[in-house]
Structure 1
Amino acid sequence: MFKAKHSISLLFNANKVYDRQVIEGIGHYLQSSKVDWDVYLEEDFLARIDNINDWVGDGIIADFDAPSIQQAVEHIDLPIIGVGGSYENLDDYPKVPYVATDNVAVVKCAYEHLKHKGLERFAFYGFPPDDNHRWATEREKAIIKLCKEDGYECAVYRGHPTRPETWQYSMNRLSDWLQSLPNPVGVISVTDARARHLLQACDHTGKMVPDQISIVGIDDDDIARNLSRISLSSVTQGGFDMGYQAAKLLHRRLENPNLKNKIVTVPPVGVAQRQSTDFKALKDPHVIQAMHFIRQNACKGIKVDQVLDYVGISRSNLESRFHEERGHSIHNEIHNEKLAKACNMLTTSEQQTSEIALMCGYPSLQYMYAVFRKHFDQTPKEYREQHFEQSEN
């Protein structure tokens, strides 16, 4: 009968993108190192956390951002690896080997991204402080410190916990805060889920993203990103590497139980840049309005006349303003927006080129082929293959 050398328990919530990345990294270590582990991943381990001694096995890798998990395992006499956020105060780290996402580096990554866009006003949307969101408090402290070092102030709003019964009230208060911010401003959200709140509030209040408010989240969560009309720029944390490092630490601890506790800090991968931070320092309010409308509707097949109707001024007036601010015509702006969307979909999705042509507002696949031939001297298929090869190298 098969019997693995070690039975390992993973205490993570696989519904969260961050936890899934950590689990994936653990799996990669298992495959690459050929360790002889039988891995146990409880689907709803919190329901039985009080009886954890009955099923933990020979070692544990656990999410220590959750105080209930940390408290449940801290008295278990087994090799335990904690995974969670970094802390400014060393005394806040648990007394076990620990792999941390570098909260300061994560926030700095988002902050530098916004600064490089030319923004000089900043804000932070976080969480109300509690034990379950200690990492959020660390990120809030980090952005305040970074802004202060550069001579900037940072407006902070912690908002409310997300609950159905208080949702409308919470969104109204968030909208009030957004309305109080100066334009333009860069807002760092503590998570992608909270960033989506910002996008919804901007939509309801008429705040234009990214022309008035540029938003960057943290997690690069596909679900949160795709639930909004405006695609969200987001910091990709090093969750995969964290999982790999955690498995590596556990492997060493199982081989040598007397190893000293160690803290491994993992930096973020970088910012996945999308529409929510596609900020250009525009000054003309009519051009800002037009750009907002074009970003929202270019792929719906709009024409210049519809942009003019939205802005409410004459064609010659708006065209003149566009050439002054953007260096090209309104028609070219619509064209460029559609082309950028097509290029992005070709390189980041597996959808058929015919579907991409339709979603980007081209009248036919043949028309999109003609556009790519003119701009890149390639077919869409050739463009996709070339960029796929570049990403592999």
Structure 2
Amino acid sequence: MPHTGKPHRVALLFNGNKIFDREVMAGIAAHLRSTRAEWDLFLEEDFRLRLHNIEHWQGDGIIADFDDPCVAEALSGCRFPVVAVGGSYADDSGYPANVPYVATDNAKLVKLAFDHLIDAGLHRFAMFSLPEAPGNRWAQEREHAFRELAGKSGAHVEVFQGCATAGSSWDEAVQGQIAWLRSLPKPCGIIAVTDARARQLSQACTIGGIAVPEQVALIGIDNDPLVRQLTRIPLSSVIQGAQEIGRTAAHLLDRMLHGVRLPDTRILVPPAGINVCASSLHQPVRNPYVMQASHFIRQYACQGIKTYQVADYVGLSRSSLELYFRQEFGCSVHDAILRFKLEAAKAGLRSRDRSVADVAQQCGFLTTQYMYQVFKRELGCTPRIYRDRVLGESALPAGAG
């Protein structure tokens, strides 16, 4: 379609409630900022209305999430250019016909998580997935990739789909998760197909008294900042290349809007890395009191707990618990609490969305000045310098520096 000088009218059919879809849209926006493409964007505030009369929409092109089968069906006979976004498939028949497709590489997402758990010294693995459904095909693809990896490594694995959660079935769902967790041989590394599922499992571990990561090391997929805020124990997560997917999809549509035909184009985008946090940092612990205490510290360190409260929780004298900690970790209980708070602060500083003062308060430091002292003593720099250093390094292109 030749450019008439007017902006192209482009619809984005995504679910803004999903972190993956939001990141894809952020990538589309990044493409528009970095090029001369002029688009008027159509985006419904309520994603449930996105397909209403879409066949009568007077526009020039669409980028859509084809993980939703309703979207794929509605756009199957579309008269204007469409670029599809979604998950990858081991079987080529899973892809839509005659539509350019940009996919997150499900196999590589799972492999990155699997390799991370192996590096943590684990030998038993499981996956927390989603019930089979047309809209969950991407989750079943991750299950397939997980079983393939396990088969190659010779490891025995368990896959638990659980049930779709709702208000009326929430208690039943949680009890089912706890029963499954208790049935697993320990220690065990678990990959959840999303951060949302990982958060549910982390909560089930807390309710069921299962220590994370000593008994269960847990990693999700999405690197969702909201989920991190809603999880007591900081959650490790594979970072999808969702923004790169958005940039690529926008580039393809831009070419199509200028007359280029791309019916058989298929691009798989690998993950961007892992945000490693406490939930997957498995460390073998022999002493059951130390295991219980460590689990308690991970849940409540940022609430300002003291050594005597940890000792009370496990039912030991403070001196006995201190002795066991030094035998296991070579440090005091106070040091273990402080280390966890420091790691939480480092994670909080990896974005500019929160001020240093907010991070200090949320991580249990009595004052911002005290957090500065801890950073200077342990890391040799201030929190602000740490933030600038980390964000500066993350902005470097691959292979730089």
TM-score range, shorter chain: over 0.9
For 1:103 and 1:175, the matched residues in 2 are separated by 27
Match of 1:285 in 2: 288
- Structure 1 residue 150 corresponds to structure 2 residue 159: no
| 1:368 aligned partner, one-letter code | M
Unmatched 5+ stretches in structure 2: 397-401
Q: Give the aligned partner of residue 310 of structure 1.
A: 313
Q: How does 1:137-286 map to 2 (within 5 A)?
A: 137-286=140-289
Q: What is the CA deviation profile of residues 36-88 of structure 1, one whole-angstrom value per residue up to 9, with x for unaligned ones?
A: 32221123354362521211511111111111111111111221111111001
Deviates more, 1:319-328 or 1:151-160: 319-328
- 1:238/1:269 contact within 8 Å kept: yes
Gaps of 5+ in 1: none
TM-score (norm. length: structure 2): 0.91
CA contact (8 A) 1:61 1:246 kept: yes
Q: Is the 8 A contact 1:231 1:276 kept in 2?
A: yes
Contact 1:50/1:72 (8 A) holds in 2: no
Instruction: Report how far residue 113 of structure 1 moved.
Output: 1.3
Is residue 105 of structure 2 the alignment partner of residue 102 of structure 1? yes
1:12 aligns to what? 14
2:303 to 300, 304, 307: 300
Distance in 2 between residues matched to 1:129 and 1:87, nearest whole Å: 15
TM superposition shift of 1:136: 0.7
Q: Is the 8 A contact 1:4 1:38 kept in 2?
A: no
Q: Secondary structure at the match of 1:173?
A: helix
- Structure 2 matches for 1:27-46, cutoff 5 A? 27-44=29-46, 46=48
Contact persistence 2:108–2:270 (CA under 8 A): yes
Kept in 1: contact 2:351–2:387 (CA 8 A): no
- RMSD between aligned alpha carbons? 2.1
Tell me the residue number matched to 1:342.
345
CA contact (8 A) 2:100 2:262 kept: no
Q: Please say if residues 16 and 47 of structure 2, whose CA atoms lie closer than 8 Å, have aligned partners that are also in contact.
A: no
Matched residues in 2 for 1:252 and 1:214: separation?
45
Q: Percent identity?
A: 45
- Structure 1, residues 102-149: CA drift from partner, whole Å, max 9, x if none? 010111111111111111111111111111111011000110110111
Shift, 1:5, TM fit:
4.2
Change (3 A) 1:60 1:363: closer
The equivalences for 1:64-75 within 5 A come to: 64-75=66-77
Q: Does 1:371 align with 2:374?
A: yes
Deviation for aligned residue 1:368: 3.1
Identify the range of structure 1 (98-107 vs 356-365) with the bigger mean alpha-carbon deviation.
Answer: 356-365
The aligned counterpart of 2:65 is 63
Q: Distance in 1 between matches of 2:263 and 2:390?
A: 45
Report the Cα offset of residue 380 of structure 1: 3.5
Provide the C-alpha distance between the structure 1 equivalents of 2:50 and 2:26, rounded to a whole number of angstroms. Answer: 24
Show CA shifts across 1:152-194 (max 9, x none): 0111111111222222212211211111111111111111111
Greater mean alpha carbon deviation, residues 16-25 or residues 295-304: 295-304
Structure-1 separation of matches of 2:363 and 2:84: 45
Structure 1 window deviating more from structure 2 (160-169 vs 311-320): it is 311-320
Query: Which residue does the alignment assign to 2:89?
Result: 87
Corresponding residue number in structure 1 for 2:127? 124
Distance in 2 between the 1:27 and 1:163 partners? 34
Number of the residue aligned with 2:399: none
Equivalent position SS for 1:348: coil
Q: Which SS does the other structure have where 1:332 is aligned?
A: helix
Match of residue 26 from structure 2: 24
Displacement of 1:27 in angstroms is: 1.4
- Asked if the contact 1:79/1:257 (under 8 Å) is kept, the reply is no
Amino acid at match of 2:292: Q
Compared CA separation, residues 98 and 179, structure 1 to 2 (3 A): same
- Partner Cα separation in structure 2 for residue 328 and residue 78 of structure 1: 65
Residues 373 and 28 of structure 1, relative CA distance in 2, 3 Å threshold: closer
Structure 1 CA distance for aligned equivalents of residues 371 and 29 of structure 2: 41
Contact 1:124/1:190 (8 A) holds in 2: yes
Q: Distance in 2 between matches of 1:45 and 1:317?
A: 57
Alignment of 1:310-329 (within 5 A): 310-329=313-332
Letter matched to residue 241 of structure 2: G
For 1:249, the aligned partner's letter is L
CA distance in 1, matches of 2:26, 2:358: 30
Instruction: Tell me if the contact between 2:356 and 2:368 (Cα under 8 Å) persists in the aligned partners.
Output: yes
DSSP 3-state at the match of 2:140: helix
CA distance 1:342–1:48, shift in 2 (3 Å): closer
- Equivalent residue letter for 2:62: I
**SS of 2:293's equivalent?**
helix
CA distance in 2, matches of 1:37, 1:365: 45
CA distance in 2, matches of 1:101, 1:336: 35
- Residue 332 of structure 1 aligns to which amino acid in structure 2? D
Render the CA deviation track for 1:333-383: whole Å, top value 9, x for unaligned. Answer: 222222333333334355444443333333333433333343344444444
- Contact in 2 for aligned 1:10/1:40 (Cα 8 Å): yes
Contact 2:234–2:344 (Cα < 8 Å) also in 1: no
Distance 1:362 1:82, change over 3 A: closer
One-letter amino acid matched to 1:165: S
The 3 A distance-change label for structure 1 pair 347 and 205 is same
1:115 aligns with 2:131: no
Question: Which stretch of the first structure deviates more once superposed, 92-101 or 372-381?
Answer: 372-381
CA distance in 2, matches of 1:139, 1:66: 16
